[in-house]
Amino acid sequence: GFWHVKENIQRALDPYLDCTEDENGVECTIPTKSSLIEKGRQDLVGAIDRLGGFKTVARDLNLKMRNPGRKALYPDLQDWDAYKQKLELWMLANDERALAEGRMPKMARLFSEGALDLYFATKKYHGGCKKVAEKMGWRRRRS
């Protein structure tokens, strides 16, 4: 269809590009998703999302990004050993019995008790409760 053709997206984006010129030539920045939505261009946002998102389309059309990606949340917890140590310390302080019995704490409990870093890292970096429990050699908590 129409929105699957990069040239059509390029033409539709042209009026919204923020371009500057210097001795190296012209450099254009892709608009943000929110700015396109404010201008009533949900159709264009949907097309960009279907083609892999703003970062992908910007790269493919040789455009700069205004905010080239957010910094990772809790980057130290991407490392398994650091994550495992923090989880075990949290359990020692908050759920010693589950730690002794080798049971994974419920995600809702991590969240409600303010361990948002562990909650996020469990889901985003380590595949969720089931995968973490398997890797730790624990069973998933059922009760």
* Local confidence band at 143 (pLDDT 50, 70, 90 cut-offs): very low
Tens digits of residue pLDDT in 76-132: 999 999 999 999 999 999 988 988 999 999 999 998 998 999 999 999 899 999 999
Q: What is the pLDDT of residue 122?
A: 93
> Is residue 1 classed as helix, strand or coil in its secondary structure?
coil
pLDDT value at position 81? 96
In 3D space, the residue among 118, 130, 108, 116 whose CA is nearest the CA of residue 87 turns out to be: 118
**Predicted pLDDT of residue 44:** 95
The per-residue pLDDT for 69 is 62
Q: State the average pLDDT over residues 63-84.
A: 85
Average pLDDT of the chain to the nearest whole number: 89
Using a pLDDT cut of 90, give the percent of the chain over it: 61
Please give the Cα distance from 70 to 55 (Å, whole number): 12
